[in-house]
Amino acid sequence: MTTPDPTPPAAADGAKRPPGPPAPDTAAGTGGAGAKHVPAVGRATPTHPHATDGLDAHLIVTRPAFHLDITLTAAPGEVVALLGPNGAGKTTALRALAGLTPLTAGHLRLDGEELDRTPPESRPVGVVFQDYLLFPHLTALDNVAFGPRCHGVPKAEARAQAAAWLDRMGLADHGGAKPRRLSGGQAQRVALARALATRPRLLLLDEPLAALDARTRLDVRSQLRRHLAEFEAVAVLVTHDPLDAMVLADRLIVIEHGSIVQQGAPADIARRPRTDYIAHLVGLNLYRGRAGTEAGGRLVRLDTGTAVATTEHLTGDVFVAFPPSAVTLFRERPAGASARNVWRCEVAGLEIHGDRIRADLTGELSLAADLTTVAAAELDLHPGTPVWATVKATQTHAYPA
């Protein structure tokens, strides 16, 4: 190779993905018409050198059937994960940051520099996609050297930088390999090296581990965590996987229907989910009700009339949550049980969940309960089986709504 080749390579390597980064949604406002195979990794000079460092964005994208409106700020060195159900707007937000989807309104500043009108290829942004999008006709080394070459770094120096990045990724021996000779985990690390080699001021990661098998995912996740910890600029990660988000991000932003529904440190969100989606994600049963009028504020009365005893003293609208593992099931109503919550339920469904059985129950309360396979067999549970579900008040957690 002499110079980076911007020609679209034929998709003849059996890759299920198109080569190169995605094209802008429209050329209008993004200047992206000529950007079809140039990674969105350009550099621009800050126009406001004294302005606040980091990301300051208000992303508004309006489509006929969808409206995204989120405020996104992050400090240098911070890793933010965008989490949300299908169609929530995560990818739209990421594409807007990359300049691939134009903003309908709002603003986008990075280290004080206005980027709204900067074409994708000129943004100081590195992107890692789920399916890595390496150039199949270039070696791993030339894939990584591509970004620096686009920024005018001489070939030998760009290749030396690329070799150093591959070394950091533990891929020193794979520089000469074409992408089809790399495993999924190796290819994803090359993609990360390629994004980092341009020293972006904003790193965007779109489901970076989703295409990997479970074992590889574990390895790449821990490596990615290490590299993100060393990364000094802002990183924004889109993921469906709560574990990826919890492990990799300093802060989670949960998006539903184009809006932020909750944000905070992973542990806080896991402990105090505020929507059913998040509760499900972090594996909690979550209910909304009112506290303060009964049992000295230690009883949450749900809209359905069902009561949930808790140990917190609260008044007003509250959430109350407990994990499926806190539920004990009985075929007969337990007499003299220490658990203060006892609900009459029926098994709606059973599924294997790791080494446990997850029972979905309906009745006085709809809830998920985890039990061992032995317990499930002893209780002889089937869909329709009537059961009593109990939860100790001490295992519930209530907090203001």
Ligand X SMILES: Nc1ncnc2c1ncn2[C@@H]1O[C@H](COP(=O)(O)OP(=O)(O)OP(=O)(O)O)[C@@H](O)[C@H]1O
Question: In angstroms, what is the minimal distance from the CB of 127 to ligand X?
Answer: 14
Question: In angstroms, what is the minimal distance from the CB of 253 to ligand X?
Answer: 12
Smaller CB separation from ligand X, 39 or 84: 84
Q: Which of 38, 42, 92, 284 binds ligand X (CB under 6 A)?
A: 92
Question: In angstroms, what is the minimal distance from the CB of 16 to ligand X?
Answer: 16
Q: Which residues of 105-139 are buried (b: 16+ CB within 10 A; e: fewer)?
A: ebebbbbebbbbebbbbbbbbbbbbbbbbbbbbbb
Question: In angstroms, what is the minimal distance from the CB of 66 to ligand X?
Answer: 4
Among 85-93, 171-179, 283-291, 309-317, the segment contacting ligand X (CB under 6 A): 85-93
Smaller CB separation from ligand X, 86 or 338: 86
Q: Judge contact between 146 and 159, C-beta under 8 A.
A: no
Smaller CB separation from ligand X, 248 or 393: 248
Smaller CB separation from ligand X, 61 or 365: 61
Smaller CB separation from ligand X, 121 or 207: 207
Q: Which residues of 157-190 are buried (b: 16+ CB within 10 A; e: fewer)?
A: ebbebbbebbebbebeebbebbbeebebbbbbbb
Kindly tell me the sign of the dihedral angle through the C-alpha atoms of 200, 203, 206, 207: positive
Binding mask 195-234 for ligand X (x = CB under 6 A): ----------------------------------------
Question: In angstroms, what is the minimal distance from the CB of 122 to ligand X?
Answer: 22
Smaller CB separation from ligand X, 45 or 86: 86
- Return the closest-CA partner of residue 129 out of 192, 78, 178: 192
Smaller CB separation from ligand X, 256 or 364: 256
Q: CA 159 to CA 349: how far, in whole Å?
A: 57
User: Rg of the chain over CA atoms, in angstroms?
Assistant: 25
Assess 91 for contact with ligand X (CB under 6 A): yes
Assess 236 for contact with ligand X (CB under 6 A): no
Q: CA 146 to CA 133: how far, in whole Å?
A: 13
Q: Which of 4, 84, 99, 102 binds ligand X (CB under 6 A)?
A: 84
Question: In angstroms, what is the minimal distance from the CB of 169 to ligand X?
Answer: 26
Please count the CA atoms within 13 angstroms of the CA of 329 that sit on its side-chain side: 31
Look at the block and give the residue holding tokens 């001021």.
Answer: 201
The two structure tokens encoding residue 366 = 């709809």
Question: In angstroms, what is the minimal distance from the CB of 85 to ligand X?
Answer: 7
Q: CA 73 to CA 128: how far, in whole Å?
A: 20
Question: In angstroms, what is the minimal distance from the CB of 2 to ligand X?
Answer: 36
- Report the phi/psi class of residue 357: left, alpha or beta, with left for phi > 0 and alpha for psi in -120 to 50: beta
Assess 390 for contact with ligand X (CB under 6 A): no
Please count the CA atoms within 13 angstroms of the CA of 228 that sit on its side-chain side: 26
What is the footprint of ligand X within residues 21-80 (CB under 6 A)? 25, 63, 66
Smaller CB separation from ligand X, 25 or 116: 25
Assess 3 for contact with ligand X (CB under 6 A): no
Q: Which amino acid is residue 208, in one-letter code?
A: P
CB 9: neighbour CB atoms within 10 A? 16
> Starting from the edge strand earliest in sequence, which strands make up the sheet with 113-114, in order?
66-74, 55-63, 105-110, 113-114
Smaller CB separation from ligand X, 92 or 262: 92
Look at the block and give the residue holding tokens 């000529």.
Answer: 34
Judged by CB under 6 A, how many residues of this single chain contact ligand X?
12
Q: Which of 38, 74, 90, 365 binds ligand X (CB under 6 A)?
A: 90
Assess 400 for contact with ligand X (CB under 6 A): no
Rounded to 5 degrees, what angle do the CA atoms 393, 394, 400 make?
80
Binding mask 175-194 for ligand X (x = CB under 6 A): --------------------
Smaller CB separation from ligand X, 7 or 66: 66
What does the binding site for ligand X look like in residue numbers (CB under 6 A)? 25, 63, 66, 84, 86-92, 240
